[in-house]
Amino acid sequence: MTARMDDKFAALKKQGRAALVTFVTAGDPDAATSLKIVEGLPKAGADIIELGMPFTDPMADGPAIQEAGLRALRAGATMKTTLKLLKAFRAKDKTTPVVLMGYYNPIYVYGVEKFLKDAKAAGCDGLIVVDLPPEEDSELCIPAMEAGLNFIRLATPTTDDARAPAVFKHTSGFVYYVSVLGITGTKAPDLKSVAANVKRLKKHTSLPICVGFGVKTAEQARAIAQNADGVVVGSALVSAVEKSLDKKGKPTASTPKAVHKLVAKIAKGVRT
């Protein structure tokens, strides 16, 4: 729904390739390093940025993303600092779509109306809120659409043909297909079933379908990009942040570089 998102997918279509969507947690490992990481993502090859809003209890995420959230919270991250980070990024980059991803409680407590207003003003293009299925559309999805933000829904292997129309009804921007039954960053996707499911879901929506969960390598990304409109990488990137920290858990000079190097590698997979 935002021009930035539509323009991006239109441009990618012209180039005839899939999008690389990169997830990092806002404020991980601290505010300054996090900004450096996010600012370098487009140059490293990211087409869309998913910015995680830290939450203490991310029930659908694996240990890597949970740990990233806790690192950010320990370093003082809040919803306000997340929006501030986005604003700082947007001041220098007007074209890369940014999607805020997380859980409903921090948004609910911030206040839905205020959140939508502030997120839009900061330069946000869409929201992914894991614990808001279509059954709870009135909470945030519909107000977000009215505020001019995309609400990007997760579709999963359990989203069968009967349920798909309900799932896609209020989805915009793109569809995030969760490639495995399970949490982020654990199982590797079964590429055959991903291809079959993307094909099946395409019958229900004209939106781009991006595939994520468990994608770690350029080879996986290349294989997925053959059938899908985009590939999402998350846990592998926050693991790269974790591995780059010193013994005390503090960022080192190589922290942003570690993430950007991995993004560049996976971007090659998407582009060939």
Q: Which stretch binds other proteins (CB under 8 A): 23-31, 148-156, 230-238, 260-268?
A: 148-156
Binding status of residue 51 toward other proteins by CB under 8 A: no
**Structure-block tokens of residue 144:** 């977000």
Interface residue with other proteins, options 3, 43, 63, 249 (CB under 8 A): 63
Binding status of residue 188 toward other proteins by CB under 8 A: no
Phi, psi of 178 (to 5 degrees): -85, 115
Least separation, in Å, of the C-beta of 18 and other proteins? 22
Binding status of residue 30 toward other proteins by CB under 8 A: no
Q: Which three-class secondary structure state does DSSP give residue 231? A: strand
Least separation, in Å, of the C-beta of 223 and other proteins? 22
Subset of residues 73 to 132 that bind other proteins, contact rule: CB under 8 A: 73, 78-79, 103-110, 130-132
How far, in Å, CA of 215 to CA of 188, rounded?
A: 7
Interface residue with other proteins, options 3, 11, 57, 95 (CB under 8 A): 57
Binding status of residue 234 toward other proteins by CB under 8 A: no
Q: Which stretch binds other proteins (CB under 8 A): 3-11, 72-80, 118-126, 197-205?
A: 72-80
Please indicate whether residue 6 is annotated as part of the active site. Answer: no
Please indicate whether residue 7 is annotated as part of the active site. Answer: no
How far, in Å, CA of 123 to CA of 224, rounded?
A: 29
Q: With contacts defined by CB under 8 A, how many residues of the chain interact with other proteins?
A: 45
- The CA distances from residue 63 to 69, 84, 90, 190, 237, in Å, are 10, 26, 29, 21, 13
Give me the helix-helix angle, 191-202 and 218-225, nearest 10°. Answer: 30
Site string for other proteins, 157-176 (x = CB under 8 A): xxxx--x---x---------
Binding status of residue 62 toward other proteins by CB under 8 A: yes
CB burial class (10 A; 0-12, 13-18, 19+) of residue 157?
middle
Interface residue with other proteins, options 33, 66, 179, 205 (CB under 8 A): 66
Catalytic residue among 6, 7, 39, 61: 61
Binding status of residue 227 toward other proteins by CB under 8 A: no
Least separation, in Å, of the C-beta of 77 and other proteins? 9
Q: Give the catalytic positions in this structure.
A: 50, 61
Under the rule (CB under 8 A), what is the footprint of other proteins? 54-60, 62-63, 66, 70, 73, 78-79, 103-110, 130-136, 153-160, 163, 167, 178, 181-183, 186-187
